[in-house]
Amino acid sequence: MARIAVAGFQHETNTFVDRKTELAAFIQPDAWPGLIEGAALGAAVKGMNLPVAGFLDAVDGAHEIVPLLWCAASPGGPVSDHAFEAVAGRLLRALAESLPVDALYLDLHGAMVTESFADAEGELLGRLRNLLGPEVPVFASLDYHANISPRMIAATAALVGYRTYPHVDMAETGARAWRLMQQHLGGQLWHTAFRTGLAMRSLVWQSTLSEPMRSIMREAGESRSVTVAAGFPLADVACAGASVLAYGDDEAALDATVASLAARLTQEEAAPEAVYAPDEAIDRAVRLAGDGGPVILADVQDNPGAGGSSDTVGLLRRMLVAELPGRAALGLICDAEAAAAAHGAGSGSAVELSLGAKSGQFGEKPVTGVFEIRAIGSGKFAATGPFYKGCSMDLGPMACLRCRGVDIVVSSRPQQAADQAMFRHVGIEPADYGILALKSSVHFRADFGPIAKAILIIVSPGASPMEPPVT
Ligand SMILES: [Zn+2]
């Protein structure tokens, strides 16, 4: 029986966002649990679509697990030095107290940037390697949007990435990391082949539901040990880029696999898909929806899952003047003040509010007017879609507000609109609407794709632009 230490520390950092990600963001729960330490880890993540949950399930008690710590913060600006040192310090202390171990598994994102470290996972893995010495194998699962550095590769026996975007295989990736670790602990010879820093495409064109990523990932999936990471483009750091990695005992075969996938990644273009301005999209959506729907307007540039504030109002303003009585909904607008005001006034009342744009970006002003409070909710509910599978959401006080015939779902914490339960929690049945505007780049497709009559990609202000800002 091996003794395996397990930990997780996830953040996807958008370096173009000024506001730093502080320790509180790692401590508080949102879609995923808050910071968990020690023995509570297994029960807190059980059944969730999370790599650490999949890893623990796959080990299934066959070995001794030493749970250290797990936390994640919503994507946003660089992690403060204080937050990074606090979490890394606790993780290293917990590991030091647990030694000796035979292996370490880490649930990481792979695109974390801190005030001091452009390659934060490389820094963390380097510190862990120093503590463990050269022999103990470290395995880490990574997000499909990881910006993988040679330093991360050098510090680990293997890095194992998600294969889907929407990420419906996060738990499965943890299980895949376990199977590789098992092979390694069994004494199999180990070589590594990789290419990093390859050209990236915009998040919207990275979906594995479309070409070329669909068939590239199918080729990668032919071997358990191969990872293709599309990279996170909203990171102005040297290690930003797509990557291909492979591990195993046949060095020549690994090299050939990596070369083939790297060539496809850099040479194959996405099929052009139309992108719309809000007015154009709303007109088109009204025509396409007819008496049915929903036609989804994907507000891809204000995706809180990529560092957006989830409170820009460019698309909302246009929907409010478009005369869409009772047939349109939009979510989520993150505005804790407006949610609190709605809770204060109560369901069924009408209040004068200023909604959204509180983050004060892009020269936007809040939408002001009288809003009918259709429903309020605690923000605590179970996710039902495949991306947030198994998650107990805690988005703070929520409300459904109606203004000029548009139903607006408001939350107190930013979370990507990628689960129908976010709407049902405040009385909205998404399939009943003609037009449904969602602040999400791609993840919404997992749960909303099957009910969508059509999907239109909108360009409206937001901190997750389709083209990264020029620096
Ligand atoms: Zn991702």
pLDDT in tens, 248-263: 989 999 999 999 999 9
Distance in Å, CA 306 to ligand 1 centroid: 8
Q: Is the pLDDT of residue 326 over 90?
A: no
**Cβ burial, residue 100 (10 Å; 0-12/13-18/19+):** exposed
Distance 167 CA to ligand 1 centre (A): 7
Helices (H), 333-426: 336-345, 421-424
How many angstroms is it from 242 CA to the middle of ligand 1?
13
pLDDT for residue 273 is more than 90: no
**Rounded distance, CA 285 to CA 245, Å?**
42
With contact defined as beta carbons under 8 Å apart, do 38 and 93 qualify? Answer: no
Tokens 């959204």 appear where?
Answer: 356
pLDDT band at 471 (very low <50, low <70, confident <90, very high): low
Return the percentage of the chain with pLDDT > 70, whole number: 100
Task: For residue 258, give both structure tokens.
Answer: 């990596």
Separation of 144 CA from ligand 1 center, angstroms? 5
CB 383 within 8 A of CB 331: no
Distance (Å) from CA 216 to ligand 1 centroid: 17
Question: Which of 203, 264, 189, 193 lies closest to 226, judged by CA?
Answer: 193
- Token reading at 360: 């004060």
**Residue 450: Cβ-neighbour burial (10 angstroms; 0-12, 13-18, 19+):** exposed
How many angstroms is it from 230 CA to the middle of ligand 1?
Answer: 9
59-82 per-position pLDDT tens digit: 999 999 999 999 999 999 999 999
* Mean pLDDT computed over 369-392: 97
pLDDT at residue 190 in the model: 85
Calpha distance 27→74 (Å, rounded): 11
Q: If we measure between CA atoms, which residue out of 244, 32, 23, 241 comes closest to residue 118?
A: 241
Helices (H) and strands (E) in the chain, counts: 14, 20
Contacts 24+ apart (CB under 8 A), 35-43: 35/69, 35/70, 35/71, 35/87, 36/69, 36/70, 36/71, 37/68, 37/69, 37/90, 37/94, 38/67, 38/68, 38/69, 38/94, 39/67, 40/67, 41/6, 41/67, 41/68, 41/69, 41/70, 42/67
Question: Rounded to the nearest whole angstrom, what is the distance from the C-alpha of residue 143 to the centroid of ligand 1?
Answer: 5
Calculate how far, in angstroms, residue 69's C-alpha sits from the geometric centre of ligand 1: 21
- Answer yes or no: is pLDDT of 415 > 80: yes
CA of 206 to the centre of ligand 1 (A): 10
* Total length of the chain: 471
Q: In this model, does residue 396 exceed pLDDT 90?
A: yes
Residue 328 in 3-state DSSP?
strand
- Ligand 1 centroid, distance to 397 Cα (angstroms): 26
Q: What are the distances in angstroms from CA 383 to CA 209, 380, 413?
A: 22, 10, 15
* Distance of CA 140 from the midpoint of ligand 1 (Å): 15
Distance of CA 170 from the midpoint of ligand 1 (Å): 10
Is the pLDDT at 393 greater than 70, yes or no? yes
Kindly give the distance from the C-alpha atom of residue 220 to the centroid of ligand 1, in angstroms, as a whole number: 17
Eight-state DSSP code of residue 270: P
**Separation of 464 CA from ligand 1 center, angstroms?**
13
d(CA 18, CA 10): 19
Q: Which residue has the tokens 């499965």?
A: 172
The band of 375, judged by pLDDT with boundaries at 50, 70 and 90, is very high
User: Ligand 1 mean position to 106 CA, how many Å?
Assistant: 16
d(CA 145, ligand 1 centre) in Å:
5
Distance (Å) from CA 94 to ligand 1 centroid: 27
Is the per-residue pLDDT at 47 higher than 90?
Answer: yes
